[in-house]
Structure formats: C-alpha cells, structure tokens
A and B are shown apart, each in its own frame.
Chain A
Amino acid sequence: MAELTKKGIGGFLARQGILVAFVVFMVGFALANQRFLAIDNVFGVIRSSAILGVMALGVTFVVIGGNLDLSVGSMMSFSTIVVLDLHDKLGPTLAIPAMFGLTLLLGAFIGFLVGYLKLNSLIVTLGMLSAIHGLTLTWSGGKNMDIADKEGTWFSVFGQGDIVGIPMPIIIFALLAVLLSLMLSKTPFGRKVYAVGGNGQAATFSGIPRARVVFLTYLISAFCVATAGLLQASRSLGSQNTVGQGMELEVLAAVILGGASLLGGSGTVFKTVIGVLILGFIQNGLLLIGLEFYVQYVVTWVIIILAVWLDIAAKRGRLWSPIA
C-alpha cells in the first residue's frame, strides 16, 4: 500500500525501534557469552519470566483501557503470603480459591475507584501499592511465611511440576496468554476496552458503559496477579512479605516494550508477551556477561524511558519537537 512505501525504511525503524534494539542486544549477548542462546538458558529465561508475564497480561488490559496499575507488585506479595498462610490453616484446596477471592476483592476496589468514581489511576494504584503492602504485613505480622510440610503437599505442582517436560509456569502463562488474547482481540468486551482507552468520550457516545469496562480491566488484572501469586508461592513454598516489590515497574516496562501506548487504545496480548521476553532476555544477558543482578534495576529504567520516548517519537514522526 502507498502508505507503507511512503514511510520506507526510516518509518520502519521509527515504528520497530524497540525490536531493532532487541536484536542488537541479542547478537551482542550471544557474541559475548556462548551460553546465552543455549536451549536450557532460553528455556530458563522463559520460565523465570512466567510470573512477571502473567501479571503483564492483566496489566495490558488496564493500559489499553487507558489507565495504569502500579499496585500489581504489592498485590502479588499479598496473594503469595495469603495463600501460603491459608495453606496450613485451610488446606490447599480451600486456600487457593480463598486467595483468589481476596485478591479479586482488591482489584474490584481499585476498579470501583478508577472506573465508577473516575479517580486518577496513577494516584489510586500508587496509593494501593502502599496500602496493600500494609495489609500484607498486618496479615503476616511482618514475618516470613512458610509452609510447614514442604515435602508432603501437592501444592508445589503449579510452580515446580511439569507436563511432558514443559514446566507448569510456562504452560499456565501460555494458556492464560492464549485465553486473554482471544478475549481482547475477538470478543465484544475486548473491542470495548480498545474503544474506552482510545477515546472514552466517543465510547460513551456509542453506548459503551465506560465505568464497567474499566472496572472489569482491573478485575482481570487482579485475576492475573492472583495467578502469579499462586505460581510464586507454589514454586518457593515460603516467602518474604516483599516478594513482588518493584515488579509493577517491570510489568509496566514489558507492556510498554510490547508497544502498548500509555495513552491507551493500543497494544495486544501477543505484543506484551514479546515485551516480557525481551525484558527477560536482556536481564539474563546482563547476568551472563558478568554484571551484578542489581544492574538490571537501572537497565529496566533505561528501557522504560527508551520505550516511552520511541512511542512518542513514532507518533509525532520525529525524535524531538519543540511543541509537546
């Protein structure tokens, strides 16, 4: 089409800048360390990205709907602590649904504040980040939570089991990704999420219940967080109160890296999965070339800034502009 030829190679670079940067990174890491592209390393990266990935799937809905969710890291700690505690008190069969119920309640509360009361999502979820952390510490009394009988429980199956050699976290991540991808791209609800995030007023004028749609995106996000908490708890069978701390930024980085716009209305589940993998491989590569793990915190920040910058640059067609 005329449009594509007009933009040419420069346009491709502007739109796919992140992908290009990713390839450059990968080639660099592969040259620096032979192990980087080894099968077991690749598998390991995907596996360790699964928990982050599951959370990013939910946040994708929130971001496309035009909002932010900075509470997911703190909420994941809550889910993990709660399910570990209830495991010994109620048994795993009851603990899991109870934990999902409580986490969804938190999501519903956020969804109510942002959707129905129309409060700014940044403020609401930043506040909830702190509030939920307080809730978690209250629940645990500030102590680490451990399952008493780590050998004798089937609870470990979600985090440690595998089916035909494929680790369970990867299977759950993949299943959820397919399910949510269909939901977002194929169902009426998915269409409404794009409409609400793309132009909320036009959505209202088209008879779309904007508040309900926003509410539901937070419910989906909470469901994903609960799943991530389950994976985390099942993998380690014990946890600190701060296990999810800082993950909200990594999740957001993955979603934006995938190309979802912070302004809402664009992005896909598939792209988010790509974003998660990019982030995972870059962090892994940094470790393999011998950098300390804490370097990744800085790198993650750089990646977020780069992604946001390229997103804006692609919109206005150049890297810098005097007028916003």
Chain B
Amino acid sequence: MTDQTPVLRLEGVVKTFPGVRALDGVSFDLRPGEVHALMGENGAGKSTLMKVLGGIYDPNEGQIYVAEEPVTIASPMQAKARGVVFIHQELSLADELTVAENIWLGELPLKSFGRVDWNKLYADTDAILETLNVGFDARTRVGDLSIANQQMVEIARALTVDPRAVIFDEPTASLTDAEKVVLFEVIADLQSKGVGIIYISHRMEEIFKITDRISVLRDGQYRGTLNTAETNEEEVTQLMIGRKLDLSRNESHHELGDVALEVRDLSCGELFKDVNFQVRRGEVVGFYGLVGAGRTEIAETIFGLRDPSAGQILLNGEEVRIHSSMDAIARGISLVPEDRKGQGLVLGMNCRDNMTLPQVDDLTAGPFVSDGAEVAIFDQYRDKLDIRTPGWRQTVGNLSGGNQQKIVIGKWLSMHPEVLIVDEPTRGIDVGSKSEIHNLIRDLAAQGYAVIVISSEMPEVLHVSDRIVAMFSGKVMRTFTSEEVTEDSLIQAISGLEGDKVA
C-alpha cells in the first residue's frame, strides 16, 4: 500500500428522499494523513453524506471504498469496525457515567461471569487520554466536564479503534479559541499517524489554517475539490453558492410605511441582550448569524413563547406585553417557526386542518367548525402559494418539504398578520421551492406586510432583505442596508469581529 492509496473513497453516491435528491452522484477521496474540508451551504448534503458514511442511510446508488476495498456500511457499528469514526457536533454522552464508561459503552472489558474489569477499563482509558493530553482522568463524571472536554471524550471514543478516517462535524462550534488550539493539535497528531480526516465547518479561517484540500457540495452535487494552498475564500464561496445571481442583493425596494414593530433594549436572560430594531410596513428585515446567536429566541420572545427579562416591544408605536402565543396572534403577529415538522405542523393531520388551526375558533357555524369556510381558506392559499397536493384531505406528512413549508406559510398568511416572522424559511427545501419562497417573501413586503426573515444562509438573507441585522452571541453587532452590505463585512459581524475591523 503506497501512501497515496485513499483511506476512503466515494464513487457516484446517490441518496434520494421523497421529493428531494439529497445526494446526486457524489465522488471524492480521502488520502491518508490529510485534512480534507467538506464545505457547502446548509442543505447542500453534507449531513446526508455523513449519514451514508456512518451507516445510518443506505445510498440508492454508488459505491464506498475503504482502503480501495468496496464495502457496504449498514450500521454505525460497521462503520466503526472499518475504522471510519465520527466526532459529532451534538455530543451524545451519558452525563451520569464516568469518562471511561462513556468511551467504552457497549464494549466494556469483562472478567468472568460478566463482571466489568474496572482496572483494565480505567487503565485503557487513561492510556488514550494521555495521548490527547487532557486535564481529566478516566474516573471523572462526564457531566462535570466542560463542553470542550466532553468533545475530547468523544474524540477519545473514536480512538478506541485504530481509525483510518475520522470525521469532525463542526467541532469548533462551541469551543473557545484556547480550546480550539488543543483540538487542532489533536488533529495534527492524528494526521501524523496517517489517519485521513474529514473536517466539516463553515468557518473559512479554520479551513484555510488546517486543511490540505477542500471539497465542495452544492444542492447534493459534488462541485469539485481544491488544494487549499492554491485557492482563496472567494473561489470556495463561489463554488459553494454557485448561482452568482442569487448572491445579488435585493434591489427592489417598496415604499415603506410606518413602523409596525419596534423592539427596545430587549433582553432575555443570557440568550440575547439589549436588542434594538424596527421593522416598517413593506420592509423585509433579515436576521443573520450563526446558530445560537439568539435570533430564534428573539422571534420566540416577540411571539410570546418566552418572557423577556428586560426591554419593550412596541406594535404600531404602542407598548405591548405578550405572554403567550395566543396574545401574539391576537395582536397580529405570526411566526413561521424554524422546525417545520416539530413546531410548524401536525404531521398526521390533513392539509386543510393544519392551515386553519390558529383560527379554528373563528370558523364556526353554530357550535361546529364550518367545513365550507375552512375549505375556502385552504383553496385560496393553495392557489396563491401554488401548493401541490391531491386535495385538502391529504395528510401533511406525505407532502414534500417545500409544500409543507407553504402550508405553514399559508397558515400564517391566512391570519392576515401585521408582522410576519419567518425563521429559516427554506431549510431542507429544494432549490426550486427555495426561490419560489424567496419571491413570495418579497411579494408579501410589496403588499405592505412587515416581515422578519431569520436565516443562516447568506445568499438568502442578501436576496430577500431590505436591511440585515447581524447577530453574534446574543447581541446585535451591526445593521446593514442592502446597499452597504458586503459578504466580508457580514461574516465579520456575525463572527464577532466587528470591533476589530471597521468595514
């Protein structure tokens, strides 16, 4: 085996879900001793690809090779047995168990009569921990560790086998700079042992610091691999986003009306602090930031699902107190929530009933719900939003993501809100429906709605917003108009760098 035999190679991998081609012929290879970045927008197919590699999804087509040997990976255990291990973004540790127990969970060393061999367990664990150079030992309770150290436990877990390929999924999302340095050392160490590393991250700066090559996915398709040393952020971004067109900012401004919603010094514990902004009628205000920046929490506070710890919310210039979603709806606020299936829809219910749910109390004839009034609303918004369904009796769970999202949007539009908040409106939705929903948002503004769009996708925010609020760690870093915003300044603002560099 020469040094250049890829430890892991994918050829033409296809994975489809009803209505979506999540992976469309993805091929790439991972060489021993390299750090290989995998990049792409949200929904580009990175996590689907990881689930295929991890044996959670079965690919429809294509072949996976481990050390040039064709394999099928049918379960996470098989992936691990082949030396393909994952360090997940979301930690999956049992807080009440010790570090050693977590690392060897499911494969604890045993003595006779099924007794656990604690001495061996702790000794083996400490040996691994030593190579990671961490400041805790095998007997520490995992719940007592910091997030960074818990991540080290995850990494230690990966090292219980001789790994060929280690896949890091957004490993630095919750780490401080000092903790990152330790992580990068661990990665370098693995690298020197000939392990191939797939590194998934949105943070360009890290990518250019530690990776050797960069592969890009877009809309489920493999878009090419670049040598990190020979490329730059711009080229990578272009490859990721592709449609140069969509990077264009919104240029169509509508006549702005009065201020519909104003928020003054709004805080909610540690989630966000001293937030100020205004939204006028006819205006789309985009909220951009990393996951956890506090954007969704602001929306939920305005919608009455969280109690603010300080500050004011003003609707049409009048201060209001909103204690529940019922209050918010009564005052003309609508929220299209972030998690479509968890928060937006009752999947087992039919299309019509989902759409009319918030106003079912008002659609009555005598004591009963009026079928006619309900169907009328459904028909109106089905046509308006071009929802494709065989009929209103169709169970919502059977629709494609795009049509599901349109049901949720229809549900809230039919309430004729004063303020419409949409949180991640196109997450997990195919490209075609995406642009339809973007156009719809612009149309709504043209009709005089005050719209807030929360999104983690930069092209989306640029495309639909009249103004963009950049958030970092619970604070508003800066507000841009669509004329002045640049990608660089936006990225700096949401990375908390605004203070250092003036755009």
| Chain A residues at the B interface, C-beta cutoff of 8 Å | 1, 3, 182, 186-188, 191-192, 194-195, 198-199, 201-209, 265-266
- Min Cβ gap A95→B in Å is 30
Q: A1 to B395, alpha carbons, bound, how many Å?
A: 13
Q: A187-B364, A203-B346, A208-B357 are known contacts; what are 14 more A-B pairs with Cβ within 8 Å? A: A187-B367, A187-B369, A188-B361, A188-B364, A191-B353, A192-B360, A195-B346, A195-B357, A201-B342, A202-B343, A206-B358, A207-B324, A207-B326, A265-B349
User: Which chain B residue lies CB-closest to A323?
Assistant: B75
Q: A11 to B305, alpha carbons, bound, how many Å?
A: 41
Q: A201 to B300, alpha carbons, bound, how many Å?
A: 13
Q: Is B325 an interface residue (CB 8 A)?
A: yes
- Min Cβ gap A311→B in Å is 13
B337, B347, B367, B390: which contacts A205 (Cβ < 8 A)?
A: B337
A1, A187, A195: which contacts B368 (Cβ < 8 A)?
A: A187
List of B residues within 8 angstroms of A209 by Cβ: 324, 326
- Min Cβ gap B495→A in Å is 31
Q: Is the CB of B357 within 8 A of A198?
A: no
List of B residues within 8 angstroms of A3 by Cβ: 398
Instruction: Name the interface residues of B357-382: CB closer than 8 Å to any CB of A.
Output: 357-358, 360-361, 363-364, 367-369
Q: Is B348 an interface residue (CB 8 A)?
A: yes
Q: Is the CB of B342 within 8 A of A188?
A: no
Q: Is the CB of B357 within 8 A of A206?
A: yes
List of A residues within 8 angstroms of B343 by Cβ: 201-202, 205
User: Which chain A residue lies CB-closest to B300?
Assistant: A205
Q: Is B10 an interface residue (CB 8 A)?
A: no
Q: Is the CB of B348 within 8 A of A205?
A: no
Q: Is the CB of A202 within 8 A of B342?
A: yes
Bin chain B's interface residue count. 20 to 34
Q: A195-B357, A207-B325 are in contact. Are A182 and B368 (CB under 8 A)?
A: yes
- Min Cβ gap B18→A in Å is 12
Q: A182-B368, A188-B364, A199-B347 are in contact. Are A207 and B329 (CB under 8 A)?
A: yes
Q: Is the interface of A mostly helix, strand, loop or mixed?
A: helix
Across chains A and B, which 9 residue pairs bring their CB atoms closest together, nearest first? A198-B346, A186-B368, A207-B329, A199-B346, A188-B360, A206-B357, A207-B325, A206-B358, A205-B343
| Chain B residues at the A interface, C-beta cutoff of 8 Å | 303, 305, 324-326, 328-329, 335, 337, 342-349, 353, 357-358, 360-361, 363-364, 367-369, 390, 398, 411
- Min Cβ gap A316→B in Å is 14
A182, A191, A201, A205: which contacts B335 (Cβ < 8 A)?
A: A205
B324, B326, B342, B364: which contacts A199 (Cβ < 8 A)?
A: B342
- Min Cβ gap B352→A in Å is 11
List of B residues within 8 angstroms of A187 by Cβ: 364, 367-369
List of B residues within 8 angstroms of A204 by Cβ: 305, 325
Q: A3 to B399, alpha carbons, bound, how many Å?
A: 13
- Min Cβ gap B58→A in Å is 13
27 intermolecular pairs with C-beta atoms under 8 Å apart: A3-B398, A186-B367, A186-B368, A188-B360, A188-B363, A188-B369, A191-B357, A191-B360, A194-B349, A194-B353, A198-B347, A198-B348, A198-B349, A199-B342, A201-B342, A202-B344, A203-B357, A204-B305, A205-B303, A205-B305, A205-B325, A205-B343, A206-B325, A206-B358, A207-B324, A209-B326, A266-B348
List of A residues within 8 angstroms of B305 by Cβ: 204-205
List of A residues within 8 angstroms of B357 by Cβ: 191, 195, 203, 206, 208
- Min Cβ gap B12→A in Å is 27
Q: A208 to B305, alpha carbons, bound, how many Å?
A: 12
User: Which chain A residue lies CB-closest to B393?
Assistant: A1
Q: A203 to B368, alpha carbons, bound, how many Å?
A: 20
Q: A209 to B305, alpha carbons, bound, how many Å?
A: 12
User: Which chain B residue lies CB-closest to A322?
Assistant: B75
List of A residues within 8 angstroms of B360 by Cβ: 188, 191-192
List of B residues within 8 angstroms of A191 by Cβ: 353, 357, 360, 369
User: Which chain A residue lies CB-closest to B56?
Assistant: A323
Q: A3 to B329, alpha carbons, bound, how many Å?
A: 36
List of B residues within 8 angstroms of A188 by Cβ: 360-361, 363-364, 369
List of A residues within 8 angstroms of B363 by Cβ: 188
- Min Cβ gap B169→A in Å is 21
List of A residues within 8 angstroms of B326 by Cβ: 207, 209
Q: A209 to B326, alpha carbons, bound, how many Å?
A: 8
- Min Cβ gap A283→B in Å is 31
User: Which chain B residue lies CB-closest to A3?
Assistant: B398
- Min Cβ gap A192→B in Å is 7
List of B residues within 8 angstroms of A182 by Cβ: 368
- Min Cβ gap B481→A in Å is 31
User: Which chain A residue lies CB-closest to B357?
Assistant: A206
Q: Is the CB of B349 within 8 A of A205?
A: no
User: Which chain B residue lies CB-closest to A191?
Assistant: B360
- Min Cβ gap B362→A in Å is 9
- Min Cβ gap B205→A in Å is 36
Q: A198 to B342, alpha carbons, bound, how many Å?
A: 10
- Min Cβ gap B380→A in Å is 19
- Min Cβ gap B391→A in Å is 9
